[in-house]
Structure 1
Amino acid sequence: MELIIDLRKKSVVILIQIIGFSLSLCNEAILEKLVLILARLFLLFPSNRKRILLSNLKHAFPDWDSHKIKKTALISMARTLEMGFFSLIYPFMSRDRKKKSVLIDQSVERKLNELRDSPKGVLFLLPHVALFEVLAISPYFRPHKKRKLGAIFRPNKNHEIDKWIDRSRTSNGLKTFSRKEGLLRAKTFLKDGNWLVLLFDQNAGDRGVLDLFLGRLVSYTPLPNSLQKATKASPVFILPQRIGFFKTKLLLSSLSNKIHGGCAADAHLKLEETIRSHADGFPEWLWCHGKWKIHSRVESRYRMIVKRKHLISKKKIARKTHFFVRMPNWLGDVIMAVPVLKAIRKGRPDVKFTLVCESQFIPLLKKFSMGEDYISLPEHSILYYFKFKKLLPVKPENYLLFTNSLRGDLEAFLSGSTQRFGMEKEDHIRPLLTHRFKPSQIDGIDIENLHQTELLEEMAKYFGLQEKVSRDCFCLPKKKMKFNKIGIVPGSSNTPEKRWSLENWVSLIQEFSAFNKSITFHLYGTEEDQEITSYISSQFQSDCVFNMAGKTNLSQLTDELYTCSLVIGNDTGSIHLANMIGTPVVVLFGPTNSTKTKPFFNSSCTMIHSNDDDINEIEIGDILSRVNCTNLGLQLQKNIR
């Protein structure tokens, strides 16, 4: 088997050599047209490389229209293919053709001569541009006096191809070092006064230095800094800028090792300046590589794990990486998901969160700045998913679902995200998710005795969350509690069995009023609850009971609940909302499991349970005896017993 694999690898090398030799015989004008045709073909079909290319350009230049993005993408892809053609052809180039590949003007020649005359080694930091390989073959870019030119490269996965590439480079007098095995030898080589070229702008993953590049977080290699520090070599930014097909002009500029982040950071600053100053975004740079692909592993998606951070504290990390979050369909579930979402936002300050939810939740979520963008779900119809697809502004890098429904899973699938996270319980298989948190398979998780927020927290931890989920209440500015104002939430949109009877609510209001006629009662709910609230309010004078059901959006309801001395209600969303903003609540539980769905935040919460699943087993006296009126801003004329 190994013999067959070796033969295949060698056959690939032979085929590459034949293609390279054949292309070397072609006129460069024909080759230039060929790479443009291939670039157009590449952009016609979906691929991961195309997605990265377009995504990188859109993030770097948010003000560009789609036409300009596509134009630069086409040029950049053509330059990338030109790089590939050059790598295939240069082993078969004549010496005269190699000389013509690099133009060196007088100012650059003077700078090179200064570096040649210096006894110090020189560390050239080279960005990934289309024709970076010209430095390996140009006879004009070489040191003098028996000093040598070397370069550090990442080895190819195919060892036979790697050997052929290495032979092509060394045949031109270049000393090569592998990133995997040759770093110590490269350091000695540089310390001996030689020249060393290093591609500095590759994604370094978890081992790199965390910094900003074009406004987004990147992880770059600290190798330039460690090499320069160990060898005292002169750091230089080098750029073979393309001026024609297979032709470049050499640009040099000195780098500082004294700025924050060292010469590696300075090289990135110079590259960023080059990109921003170019009318088309410097398309010869390899826009199709994953420069910004950091914190993308499933097990660490919701945290930043790079060990080295050179970010200056004054730099504000912009939220530019797109994540979508599908919020639940019921208010109480939304409130119980908010603490987890808040922790994820803290763990990923570089992410722009788009919240996908029912339209009525958007004012509330905006009020507490839970997202940067919002998508209001369309009305239910036969064209629902078609309309949803049209609402999507971008293809998100990650899609988190707090829902447990096929509808939400289909929405996530239509988004095109390659990471779709959610919870899969034993009785509900979710094949449209790419990654699943399965609580039944994790030791220590008892779904029936774990609060819903804590269960969502476990899911977020499974996907990398390290930030603590806080129980602290949300504060509203410039709002004050009103004495003797009681909020009543008599409805329950999703489960009628959770409702205390209308007669009980009427009697409760009567009991409170008997002790202090200045207490006002405000009935809250949705439009669907108006029949309930209208009946209750009709039993009293209008100056003490106010029917607010259906008259507020959730943002206005939040303000209303915040000013209440106390809110009493069934196990429903408004109670969770009042608890979230710190208003004391009394919540009546019937058939629901209070362990899983009780109010989560650190605020006064009195829970009253029925003896069985019938909520009407709860008596008025059970409530009156549990209310601490003095602490709640309720002024009573005699004690409640």
Structure 2
Amino acid sequence: MLKLYRIKILNLLCYQALQLINLFLNRKKIEYQHNKLLIIRLDSIGDYMLFRNFIGEIKKSKKYRDYTVTLCGNILWKDIAESFDKEVVNDFIWIDRRKFYGNIFYKYKIMRSIREKGFEIVIDPTFSREILYGDSIVKVSGAKEKIGSTGSPDSHSKWKRNLLTDKYYTKLISSSKANLFEFNRNKEFFERVLNEKIEIEKPFIDSSKIFSDKIPVSEYYIVIFPGAKHLKRRWSVDSFAEVSGFILNEYNLGIVIAGSEEDYQLAEQIIFKTRANKCLNMTGKTKLNELAKLISNATLLISNDTGAVHIAAAVNSSFICISNGNHFGRFHPYPKEIFDKAYYIYPPEIMNNQDNIELLKNKYRFSSELDINEIKPGTVKETIKKILG
């Protein structure tokens, strides 16, 4: 409870700091740059993977084809954006979310820089709009036209947006009330912004453009991705180790464990428990663009519900996703018409109700407290057999 109050107080202080910065910067008149567009996207890797293909649609649209496009993004996915999207983005502004939240000098520097660029139009397509991030940058930009989404119907945040930040926008694009898959949600948003039909049907990236001597291309392997931001979305080390041992015993395949630097100890524990020398720990050793290449060359990815599965879908690689069902319908499972090589394994309560998808989409739309470790390694092994034979 004390932690919750602490977070609320910190959020209030951050909000007040943003208001003061905006008030200070507002004193100077903006010199607008004609045909200059800012797109804001500050959420996670998976969110970006399900959004990024629409930047090209903006760039070639009748409405904005003569505009220079600047992308204000989360520095977490800088590598993948600058590797694959520099042909459709003229300039990038990178934001470290932790610094932006906690460092008032960093916050001021970023916000002043954005305001001084004189953007004519700003678009924040984020469905789960964030008052302390995207909304505040929209406000300080001072753009003539500010376009956003009416946002998620999650009652926890909707009333705050309605009260505080809806007024920052000159135009809010209405969103379907249905629980849409995120790629389809983005498509709906941009079709309404551009007033054009968008033809792309699934996320994609061309990993053939990436060359790296870090990628073990000389052998067949499966990628294991054991990390996750939140503990409730992280399957146990013992379970990953058991599945890894099964793969090594049953198939002539190597194991590559991938992830961030924070996942290094998880990977070492899996390797220790597996007791095999065909496991390679590459956590913290690949940039995101190299991770895309690593996954594209793999026979299979086995991962918690992270951005790795969305990278796999974009490079057309089969994956098994182990999930507790959080945000069911929005980020998973992939609709078959978008990607048909995705295999999801959930706790029994969800697996036993697969014939009632609408029930699951409503029940776990915003969150799930189901225990991911109710998923047994045997279920994952059977799925591997189904895929690999």
Judge same fold: TM > 0.5, yes or no. Answer: yes
Structure 2 equivalent of residue 532 of structure 1: 266
Structure 1 equivalent of residue 92 of structure 2: 374
User: In the alignment, is the contact (CA less than 8 A) between 1:322 and 1:352 conserved in 2?
Assistant: yes
Deviations 1:24-56 (A, max 9, x none): xxxxxxxxxxxxxxxxxxxxx848xxx46xx35
Q: Using a 3 Å threshold, how does the CA distance of structure 1 residues 435 and 482 change in structure 2: closer, same or farther?
A: farther
Structure 2 equivalent of residue 496 of structure 1: 231
Counterpart of 1:414 (choices 121, 140, 143) is 140
RMSD across aligned positions (CA): 2.7
Query: What SS does the aligned partner of 2:51 have?
Result: helix
Deviation at 1:620, TM superposition (A): 2.2
**Match of 1:526, as an amino acid?**
S
Q: Using a 3 Å threshold, how does the CA distance of structure 1 residues 389 and 473 change in structure 2: closer, same or farther?
A: closer
User: In the alignment, is the contact (CA less than 8 A) between 1:474 and 1:581 conserved in 2?
Assistant: yes
Structure 2 equivalent of residue 474 of structure 1: 205
Query: What SS does the aligned partner of 1:488 have?
Result: strand
Deviation at 1:452, TM superposition (A): 1.5
**Match of 1:457, as an amino acid?**
K
Alignment coverage as a number of residue pairs: 312
1:614 aligns with 2:350: no
Q: In the TM superposition, what are the counterparts of 1:142-221 in structure 2 within 5 Å? A: none
* CA–CA separation in structure 1 for the residues paired with 2:54 and 2:244: 36
**Which ranges of structure 2 fall in alignment gaps of 5 or more residues?**
1-27, 350-369
Structure 1 equivalent of residue 48 of structure 2: 334
**Match of 1:570, as an amino acid?**
N
Deviation at 1:515, TM superposition (A): 1.0
Deviation at 1:501, TM superposition (A): 1.2
Q: Using a 3 Å threshold, how does the CA distance of structure 1 residues 594 and 345 change in structure 2: closer, same or farther?
A: farther
Structure 2 equivalent of residue 580 of structure 1: 314
Deviation at 1:572, TM superposition (A): 0.6
Query: What SS does the aligned partner of 2:194 have?
Result: coil
* CA–CA separation in structure 2 for the residues paired with 1:594 and 1:435: 29
User: In the alignment, is the contact (CA less than 8 A) between 2:50 and 2:203 conserved in 1?
Assistant: no
Structure 1 equivalent of residue 177 of structure 2: 446
Counterpart of 1:395 (choices 108, 118, 124) is 118
Deviations 1:528-564 (A, max 9, x none): 2223222112224563111111222211211211211
Structure 2 equivalent of residue 508 of structure 1: 243
User: In the alignment, is the contact (CA less than 8 A) between 2:78 and 2:94 conserved in 1?
Assistant: yes
Deviations 1:384-411 (A, max 9, x none): 3311034336212221113311121111
Q: Using a 3 Å threshold, how does the CA distance of structure 1 residues 360 and 566 change in structure 2: closer, same or farther?
A: same
User: In the alignment, is the contact (CA less than 8 A) between 1:364 and 1:554 conserved in 2?
Assistant: yes
* CA–CA separation in structure 2 for the residues paired with 1:353 and 1:416: 17
User: In the alignment, is the contact (CA less than 8 A) between 1:365 and 1:371 conserved in 2?
Assistant: no
* CA–CA separation in structure 1 for the residues paired with 2:347 and 2:305: 12
Between structure 1 and structure 2, the one with the greater Rg is 1
Structure 2 equivalent of residue 136 of structure 1: none
Instruction: Name segments (4+ residues, structure 1) moved above 4 Å.
Output: 478-483
Query: What SS does the aligned partner of 1:529 have?
Result: helix
User: In the alignment, is the contact (CA less than 8 A) between 2:41 and 2:134 conserved in 1?
Assistant: no
TM-score, with normalisation over the residues of structure 1?
0.45
* CA–CA separation in structure 1 for the residues paired with 2:195 and 2:107: 31
**Match of 1:349, as an amino acid?**
R
* CA–CA separation in structure 2 for the residues paired with 1:385 and 1:373: 20
Deviations 1:48-92 (A, max 9, x none): xxx46xx35xxxxxxxxxxxxxxxxxxxxxxxxxxxxxxxxxxxx
How much identity, in percent, do the aligned residues show? Answer: 19
Query: What SS does the aligned partner of 1:457 have?
Result: helix
1:559 aligns with 2:282: no
* CA–CA separation in structure 1 for the residues paired with 2:385 and 2:121: 46
Q: Using a 3 Å threshold, how does the CA distance of structure 1 residues 323 and 486 change in structure 2: closer, same or farther?
A: same
User: In the alignment, is the contact (CA less than 8 A) between 1:492 and 1:498 conserved in 2?
Assistant: yes
User: In the alignment, is the contact (CA less than 8 A) between 2:299 and 2:318 conserved in 1?
Assistant: yes
* CA–CA separation in structure 2 for the residues paired with 1:584 and 1:483: 17
**Which ranges of structure 1 fall in alignment gaps of 5 or more residues?**
1-44, 57-320, 440-444
* CA–CA separation in structure 2 for the residues paired with 1:470 and 1:353: 23
Query: What SS does the aligned partner of 2:119 have?
Result: coil
